[in-house]
Chain A
Amino acid sequence: MDAGAARLDTADRSSFERSASARRADPLFRGGLTVLAGLVLVLLAFFFVFLIVKARPALAHQGVFSFVFSNDWNPSKDVFGAWPLLAGTLITSAIAMVIGVPVAVATALFITELCPVRLRQPLTILVELLAAVPSVVYGLWGVFVLIPKLRGTESSFADSLHVLPFVGGNVAGPNYFIAGLLLAIMILPIVSAISREVISTVPAEHKEAALALGATRWEMIRIAVLPYSRSGITGAALLGLGRAVGETIAVVLVIGNSTVVGKQIFDQGYSLAAVIANEFGEAANDPLHAGALIAAGLLLFVLTLIINGVARALVVRAERRQGTRLPPPTVTAAAMADPEVTAA
């Protein structure tokens, strides 16, 4: 391309002609970038197909339905019913949502609608710093701090509130609840960041309309802010769910890695992602076992694809109303800190 540029300078400008290579430079550039973009899609498709191919022997051995829903994961006997793993993934993600989403939305509402303007940016950065902590560090903290320190509280909670469903019985050290709590902390920054972006798209005139009717601040949030941003916040929560479902390292460290489905939230369990991280080493020389783990990965992949697809659609609707695309939360962190980047 540089050669083309050099020739352009020496070309005869009066004739409105450019040299052949200079004329070819633009389509080449354009074509190259298009191919690059297409390559990303091809790569993704290729991986997807390859996952299916590799998972197929195990799925054929076990049967797809039985793989997903039968409650017996026993690699030593070549039995691969992934239900205990899927159940663990769903249980821990549900706990994460129940704890994390309300806190994240409350944070987003507080930062956008209640807190003094000069506190907005510091609070935003602090909340998003949670995203800078790697999952293995959360796992480390979970193992050596959360599990021992929360044991007593969990026990008294389980004893006094055993009337609640899925509460009671013995508290295992590592358990679903600890994993869910860690996940809640980990999804907090993304759910909060996207909720905040969505909430900040609520036009001031709607909020003013509510206030001018004599609404209190909370009533303004209830009648003007929340209805307008509901679908976007749902999308944000689902993106958090996608994160929680796929999180591996923190979960594998604190969930207990038991292939028996726990009866209550303080029991040990397993998750799809955790089993892959844990067993792939021993499965290296057992194609069936490896295939089952890849099938677990495939299941995880499909699960997150569906969740994220729905989430994206909801967030995109919020974006449309605003007229721009919301940057991903990882970018938001910097953008919020530096208004110059997002200005305009």
Chain B
Amino acid sequence: MSPDPAFTPEQQQEQPMSATPSDGPADVRVSPTAAATRSASDAAAAEQVGSGHSMSVKDVDAYYGETHAIRGVSIEYRANEVTAMIGPSGCGKSTLLRCLNRMHEEIPGARARGQILLDDTDIYGPGVDVVSVRRAIGMVFQKPNPFPTMSIFDNVAAGLKLNGVKGVDMKERVEKSLRGAGLWDEVKDRLSSPGVGLSGGQQQRLCIARTIAVEPRIVLMDEPCSALDPIATLKVEDLIHELKRDYTIVIVTHNMQQAARVADTTAFFLLGDMVEHTKTEDIFSNPQDSRTEEYVTGKFG
């Protein structure tokens, strides 16, 4: 990676890919048919357990115009674990999350630099297509955002359609994703009704189904429960536990109890710095840094 690349979406997307589906060992995900076949097979599904991917962030800086939102942060997200990022508003946790699938650069004037590896591939590297980065690293947003003009089915199918999945494969993948998001039983009789007709919690699980339908490597969640009531929140948290078997999850949350409930490790951010990242029980019971202690004990934030 070059020492000081300032990325814009335009530059990245215009760069030619150096690899095509035909060279090297073909990835199952390249061919939608192959992927669908595999997903239909229980054996393949079992094989996926514990085969998640890891991410590591190395010395990343992010800016909004002149504002330096993240200052040289390095952090590891281990495979098949839930990593929570907590901290007061404006600490940079959401910005870092958006850097992880390069959504950060969608904001006008925003840029990032440093190295972010998915396993050992630099997602900011030259020749890396931002579209395939987002395909591999899915994101669930703060406010449930199903496409308002689409039915429940079409919402889940949206990402699959882009990748050319059709017909029976499509139906199977949609059902699998809805089951995966714990929503199938609630919506199976009204798949063609609008996605926005669901309750807030259902909408958020629909968005999770939409995200996992394209079988990403990593699932990012940006305060996914902040717009939900406690019962819906609980359901989503249960779902996070389930999803952990198949996916590596990074979650930003405002709510320390939530981090304690769902996360294996927790990172505390303050003013664009990462203060501490350790096992969740340690960060709450035995924080190493005094600022972390003040935060988790409710002295500020």
Contact = CB atoms under 8 A, between A and B. Distances in A.
Interface of A: 117, 203, 205-217, 219, 223-224, 227-228, 230
Nearest to B101: A212
A320 to B, nearest CB: 13
Interface of B: 9, 13, 101, 103, 106, 108-109, 131-132, 134-136, 138-139, 141, 143, 145-150, 158-159, 162-163, 207, 210-211, 214
A212 B147 contact: no
B58 to A, nearest CB: 23
Nearest to A114: B10
A215 B162 contact: yes
20 contacts: A117-B109, A205-B141, A205-B143, A206-B147, A208-B141, A208-B145, A209-B141, A210-B147, A210-B158, A212-B103, A212-B138, A213-B211, A214-B132, A214-B136, A215-B159, A217-B13, A223-B147, A223-B158, A227-B150, A228-B149
Contacts of A228: 148-149
Contacts of A227: 147, 149-150
B147 A214 contact: no
Contact of A216 (B103, B131, B159, B210): B131
A207 B147 CA distance: 9
A268 to B, nearest CB: 44
> Interface majority SS on A: helix, strand, loop or mixed?
helix
A207 B108 CA distance: 14
Contacts of B135: 213-214
A208 B148 contact: no
Which of A206, A213, A219, A227 has the largest number of chain B CB atoms within 10 A? A213
B138 A213 contact: yes
Given A227-B147, A228-B149, A212 B139 contact: yes
A239 B207 CA distance: 36
A211 B106 contact: yes
A214 B134 contact: yes
Nearest to A203: B145
Nearest to B207: A209
Given A205-B141, A209-B145, A214 B214 contact: yes
Q: Which 9 A-B pairs have the closest CB atoms?
A: A214-B135, A213-B159, A227-B149, A212-B139, A205-B145, A117-B108, A214-B134, A209-B145, A216-B131
A207 B158 CA distance: 13
Contacts of B162: 213-215, 219, 223
Nearest to B213: A213
Contacts of B147: 206, 209-210, 223-224, 227
Contacts of A230: 149
Nearest to B144: A205
B158 to A, nearest CB: 6
B150 A211 contact: no
A121 to B, nearest CB: 13
A208 B131 contact: no
B30 to A, nearest CB: 13
Given A214-B132, A216-B131, A227-B149, A208 B103 contact: yes
A126 B241 CA distance: 54
Contacts of A207: 106
Given A209-B141, A212-B103, 16 more contacts: A205-B145, A208-B106, A210-B158, A212-B101, A213-B158, A213-B210, A214-B132, A214-B136, A214-B162, A216-B13, A216-B131, A217-B13, A223-B162, A224-B147, A227-B147, A228-B148
